[in-house]
Amino acid sequence: MLRLFGPGCPHSPVDVHEASLRLDSTVWLDLFEPTRDEEALAEKVIGTNIPTRQEMQEIEPSSRLYERDGVAFMTMSVLYGVDQGRPSTDPISFILTEKHLVTVRYADPRPFVAFAQHAQAEEQLTRDPVTVLIRLLDAIVDREADELENAGRELEAISNHIFERRARSERRDPELHYEALMLRIGKVQRLLSRARESSVSGSRMLGFLGATERMREEEGHSRHLMSLIADARALDDHSDFLAENLNFLLDASLGMISLEQNFVMKVFSVVAVVLMPPTLIAGVYGMNFKHMPELQWLAGYPWAIGLMLASAIGPYWFARRRGWL
């Protein structure tokens, strides 16, 4: 799918033949899962080949960030799929020339959708390729910040569930509770890992973009770019903090599970101790020896029952007094 952005460009996707007639007014060419004809059109515009899907997935900085014949090729991993509960990242290439910006992507992140709507409503956003690129990167950084804030709130909620005494005392099914808790921790961990990957990739791309000769000549955009670089670095530090907090909560959850298991084993141990003396008494009087005086005693049976109850109450009272139960 090919979309064009610029003065007089249509809001809906266009085919290759229609796009070739509007290239004079086009500033941003957005290729989403492009066909070979759409790739050929973009290559005609920038005068060189665009990265393939395999090249975009390479993780070496030299393969993602480079300049060729005055054209800057930049690829970063962008976060998507959070709203669907399946956070992931996918590489998106930004190709910046003197007159055009070309984006090549195989995912549809939310910042692209939101910025495309704004660009169609405000033509000032697409007056030149650098403005489009800076504003688009700004939207991506803002989205990452929102997701990290959501992850921070979820970690706070998980912490309350783990450490609140009232929540632990009212728990009826600890197995189900801790299973749900571990699933929540795993969900946040997946989001944080993907957000961290996107944040680091974005910081590298912003640093590379700020070092290009094109951006050094753009004083107004350069200040905006420096602000984005600072924001991206702050997000890197914040994601590290959240990751450390998540690891602590994971260790705390495992510790709580161990405490629950120890409590269950302690209860079983105390019950075994409580039942041991009555079992011993019952075993003695259950022996089939011929000469046992109590067998002929009229009060022998109630005496044995009372003795067993007394021998069980004693250890139980002792365990309660020591706080074992």
Q: In this predicted structure, what is the pLDDT of residue 324?
A: 65
pLDDT in tens, 223-248: 888 888 888 889 888 888 888 888 88
Higher-confidence position of 257 and 185? 185
| Closest listed residue to residue 18, CA positions, set 40, 39, 41, 34 | 41
pLDDT class of 221 with cuts at 50, 70, 90: confident
Q: In this predicted structure, what is the pLDDT of residue 214?
A: 73
Residue range 288-293: mean pLDDT, rounded: 72
Residue range 141-159: mean pLDDT, rounded: 89
Higher-confidence position of 260 and 183? 183
How does the average pLDDT of the chain come out, rounded? 81
Which residue matches tokens 């009272």?
317
SS3 174: helix
Is the Cβ–Cβ distance between 251 and 261 less than 8 Å? no
Is the Cβ–Cβ distance between 259 and 171 less than 8 Å? no
The DSSP string of 260-279 is HHHHHHHHHHHHHHHHHHHH
Bridge pairing between strands 65-68 and 88-96: unpaired
Structure tokens at 284: 């003695």
pLDDT in tens, 295-308: 777 777 787 888 88
| pTM for the full predicted model | 0.75
CA distance linking residue 231 with residue 115, whole number of Å: 19
The answer on pLDDT for 161 being more than 60 is: yes
Report how far apart the first and last C-alpha atoms of the chain are (Å, whole number). Answer: 68
SS3 106: coil
CA distance linking residue 22 with residue 65, whole number of Å: 29
Is the Cβ–Cβ distance between 25 and 60 less than 8 Å? no
Structure tokens at 136: 């688009």
Alpha carbon distances (Å) from 121 to 12, 35, 98, 126, 224 = 13, 27, 24, 10, 22
Q: In this predicted structure, what is the pLDDT of residue 312?
A: 82
The answer on pLDDT for 31 being more than 70 is: yes
